[in-house]
């Protein structure tokens, strides 16, 4: 679910390697060696499923590599990676993801593939409540976000077929929506860190408590605050930390009481510095209409789906993955075993745990030809 969770609780690193506590802040220095391009796609009079309209919707994106066109002049090497709640596309420049995937000879070698990393509605440098509308911003949901992604790819970038759509957490759920809404648009799908069911049970409960914690703070003022409602944001950030935790990993790294307490306090404080209360309310609540279960049979693109056994948000005890895979045309599911090295919900961003699965998916969906890798190194 939460990119923010993965950055809050799932990574323990030295100060020089620690990523930002909130993915909407500037990436850490260790994530800047990749040569990237930034762009914006503007959609006029975007109509949301709620019936609301935004005169100008801006969708920001980061890209790596170059588009390649086949003999028909069509782009055939585009890969989109979708972030989780609270994140941005630039989170996929972090070493645990990018250094495992983008380099020469790696699964998403940017000499072969054009990587597109959008900031979804309500996140990063795309249109969001904190731009000025605050709680008057249209009440977007996942279907709106996928619609905007499709317009970016088809109208903004001229893509008619994606080589691959990947997604983590919220992006995982977007991937399942993509498979139903646009079944022929992607040659392969790789959702990671989600379930194909309505956000209910404990998953909705902790989200609701995070929202309620912000709204209960008198300083929130129905969203018209002059300064962030600190008490409410701390409540939400604390819930995010707990939901994203990896018990074995954190026990190994912080076996002493005082160090564990200090780590939690430091992570929550860093997270709070990057949170806008209204943005977070919208981000957490945008899952309210998500329910791909009835339409799973419409997903025909080959799919590899990865969850982790120590994921608090998507518990391994639920039997939905096995039943879901049986309903899709060409789907495989793997549960990454829990260990002291896995990162709970954030395992989806540590590519070493599922890199072989990605290679297998690319191999089994290969068809047509891509440009051969050249000798240029696109990292800095």
- DSSP-derived secondary structure letter, 38: E
pLDDT of residue 367: 76
Pairing of strands 114-118, 37-47: unpaired
C-alpha–C-alpha distance, residues 345 and 308, integer Å: 7
pTM of this prediction exceeds 0.95: no
**Partner residues linked to 117 by β-bridges:** 62
Q: What is the DSSP string of 241-254?
A: HHHT--HHHHHHH-
| pLDDT single digits (tens) 77-133 | 999 999 999 999 999 999 999 999 999 999 999 999 999 999 999 999 999 999 999
| Angstrom distance (rounded) from CA 339 to CA 341 | 5
16 — pLDDT class (breaks 50, 70, 90): very low
At 369 the pLDDT is 45
pLDDT number for residue 4: 57
In angstroms, the CA 179 to CA 165 distance is: 9
Tokens at residue 248, please?
A: 């074995």
**What pLDDT, on a 0 to 100 scale, did the predictor assign at position 248?**
95
Q: Is it the case that residue 27 has pLDDT exceeding 50?
A: no
Q: Give the pLDDT score at 33.
A: 84
189/201 Cα distance (integer angstroms): 27
Q: In 3D, which of 180, 187, 135 has the Cα closest to residue 290?
A: 180
Closest by Cα among 241, 271, 268 to 344: 241
Average pLDDT over residues 49-57: 98
């Amino acid at each position: 679910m939460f990119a923010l969770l993965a950055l809050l609780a799932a990574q323990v690193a030295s100060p020089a390697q620690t990523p930002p506590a909130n993915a909407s802040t500037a990436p850490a220095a260790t994530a800047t060696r990749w040569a990237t391009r930034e762009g914006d796609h503007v959609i006029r009079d975007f109509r949301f499923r709620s019936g609301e309209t935004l005169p100008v919707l801006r969708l920001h994106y980061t890209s790596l590599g170059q588009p390649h066109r086949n003999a028909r002049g069509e782009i055939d090497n585009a890969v989109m990676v979708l972030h989780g709640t609270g994140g941005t596309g630039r989170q996929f420049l972090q070493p645990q993801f990018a250094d495992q995937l983008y380099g020469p000879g790696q699964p998403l070698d940017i000499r072969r593939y054009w990587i597109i990393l959008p900031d979804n509605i309500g996140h990063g440098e795309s249109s969001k409540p904190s731009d000025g509308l605050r709680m008057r911003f249209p009440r977007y949901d996942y279907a709106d976000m996928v619609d905007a992604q499709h317009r970016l790819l088809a109208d903004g970038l001229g893509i008619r077929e994606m080589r691959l759509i990947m997604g983590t957490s919220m992006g995982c759920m977007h991937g399942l929506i993509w498979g139903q809404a646009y079944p022929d648009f992607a040659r392969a799908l790789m959702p990671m860190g989600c379930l194909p069911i309505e956000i209910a049970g404990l998953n909705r409960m902790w989200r609701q408590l995070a929202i309620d914690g912000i709204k209960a703070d008198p300083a929130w003022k129905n969203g018209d605050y002059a300064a962030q409602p600190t008490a409410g944001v701390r409540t939400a950030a604390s819930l995010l930390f707990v939901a994203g935790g990896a018990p074995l990993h954190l026990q190994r790294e912080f076996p002493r009481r005082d160090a564990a307490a200090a780590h939690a306090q430091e992570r929550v404080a860093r997270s709070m510095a990057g949170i806008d209360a209204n943005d977070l309310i919208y981000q957490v609540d945008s899952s309210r209409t998500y329910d791909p279960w009835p339409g799973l049979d419409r997903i025909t693109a080959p799919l590899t789906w990865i969850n982790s056994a120590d994921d608090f948000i998507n518990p391994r005890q639920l039997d939905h993955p096995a039943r879901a895979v049986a309903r899709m045309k060409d789907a495989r599911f793997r549960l990454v075993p829990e260990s002291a090295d896995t990162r709970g919900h954030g395992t989806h961003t540590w590519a070493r745990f599922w890199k072989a699965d990605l290679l297998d998916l690319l191999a089994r969906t290969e068809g047509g030809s891509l440009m051969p890798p050249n000798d240029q190194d696109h990292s800095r």
